[in-house]
Amino acid sequence: MKHFVQSELLQSLPKQFFASLVDKVGNVIAQGHDVINLGQGNPDQPTPSHIVEALQKAVANPRYHKYSPFRGYSFFKEAVAAFYEREYGVKLDPEKEVAILFGGKAGLVEIPQCLLNPGDVVLVPDPGYPDYWSGVALARAEMAMMPLRAQNKFLPDYGELSKDVVEKAKLMFLNYPNNPTGAVATKEFFEETALFAAKHDICVVHDFAYGAIGFDGKKPISFLQAKGAKDVGIEIYTFSKTYNMAGWRVGFAVGNESVIEAINLLQDHLYVSLFGAIQEAAATALLSSQDCVKELVSLYESRRNTLVKALQQIGWDVTAPAGSFFAWLPVPNGWTSERFADFLLEKAHVVVAPGIGFGEHGEGYVRVGLLTSEERLEEAAQRVAKLGLFHAVKK
């Protein structure tokens, strides 16, 4: 059979670091071991029943058996606008400031192709979500990394960026609550960001995937709540985390009218919008009671508290995340993140994600997901304790 060579564009895409992790985990499971997988970012709870029922009912509607409007149904975009005004006090024009997405990832990967030309510079958080890199590569643009350090609460320091990089930058990715660090942003930081972006003509793309998940009674804030934010950027929201709808592939972008138009234009050439029944169920999620979201956040907070307490008791000096469903844990002295992750998988059958997979400044950490029961989280801590890497705290 003839082998057709992939395009230079496909060959230029970044290697998927976590594909090798999946292979390693699969091999250990195949050997018959009981593996506790804390390395994933896949929600473990089902979609709330009222949203499922809304989809089931909508599927029977012949209206949705035809092509959807290219840019989505107005009722869904109006629901997004109502949601943002209710939750964040942000007013949106449903037709001009809302774009429907096939999941948040699609928007994050599309946006560089919408706004950049080959060679343009994108400011990217390090550590950060690796799919930012994919979108930059598809646009044939270039990345300039913004280090996220513990001493700065995992917020970028714009004063650290070189003048040359800032002058060339046209796009910036941010993500709070943050994957992988679990850090949250303040309104003051977002206002500083809006001023910085306006001064240097940079479009800000705030990945708000974990927007619903804040702990200790503190609700994460939207970038669009900051003064001037809508003038300089957009926010991308997904239903995957807030409503456990990861497999449904639905999200939206909101904010700057010109950027929303660019996204819509690109998608006009790629899709004929999202299945209408999913749009109706998503609107139901936004407009109905949010008790299911409160319960989910409470579940994650309880898991976070259990995990942090268990790890601290075995002598692992860890800090509780302020948001997201991840914890960002320092590796022991003398270990790289990948070697430590491999050791935990091999010896304890516990999966964690090496920090280096999220960028150079992720080295020295591993990411742990709060996506299994408290019993399994405690068991994972006990398995790690038996490796003798940490000294247990005396009671």
Q: pLDDT-derived band of residue 18, with 50, 70 and 90 as boundaries?
A: confident
**Structure confidence by residue, pLDDT tens digits, 106-123:** 999 999 999 999 999 999
Q: What is the mean pLDDT of the chain?
A: 95
**Structure confidence by residue, pLDDT tens digits, 122-142:** 999 999 999 999 999 999 999
> Average pLDDT in the 175-190 region?
97
Closest CA to 58 of 82, 75, 81: 75
Closest CA to 329 of 292, 375, 377: 377
**Structure confidence by residue, pLDDT tens digits, 149-177:** 999 999 999 999 999 999 999 999 999 99
CA angle 134, 137, 139 (to 5 degrees): 115
In terms of Cβ atoms closer than 10 Å to its own Cβ (0-12, 13-18, 19+), residue 151 is exposed
The number of helices, as runs of H, and strands, as runs of E, in the chain is 15, 12
pLDDT of 325 higher than 70: yes
> Average pLDDT in the 345-368 region?
95
Cβ neighbours, 10 Å, residue 364: 16
What kind and span of H or E run contains 175? strand 169-175
The CATH number that domain 49-287 falls under is 3.40.640.10
For the question of whether the overall pTM of this predicted structure is more than 0.75, the answer is yes
DSSP per residue, 278-305:
HHHHHHHHHHS--HHHHHHHHHHHHHHH
d(CA 253, CA 235): 6
Write out the two tokens for 28: 């250990």
DSSP per residue, 330-392:
EPPTT--HHHHHHHIIIII-EE-EEGGGG-GGGTTEEEEE--S-HHHHHHHHHHHHTTTSS-P
**Structure confidence by residue, pLDDT tens digits, 52-94:** 999 999 999 999 999 999 999 999 999 999 999 999 999 999 9
**Structure confidence by residue, pLDDT tens digits, 254-312:** 999 999 999 999 999 999 889 999 999 999 999 999 999 999 999 999 999 999 999 99
Is residue 366 within 8 A of residue 345, CB to CB? The reply is no
Write out the two tokens for 298: 């409470």
Predicted local distance difference test score (pLDDT) of residue 360:
95
pLDDT of 395 higher than 80: no
Predicted local distance difference test score (pLDDT) of residue 394:
58
d(CA 257, CA 99): 10
d(CA 99, CA 260): 6
Percent of the chain past pLDDT 70, that is, above it, reads 99
CATH superfamily, region 8-46+292-385: Aspartate Aminotransferase, domain 1 (3.90.1150.10)
Q: Domain segments of the chain: what residues?
A: 8-46+292-385, 49-287
Same fold, 8-46+292-385 and 49-287: no
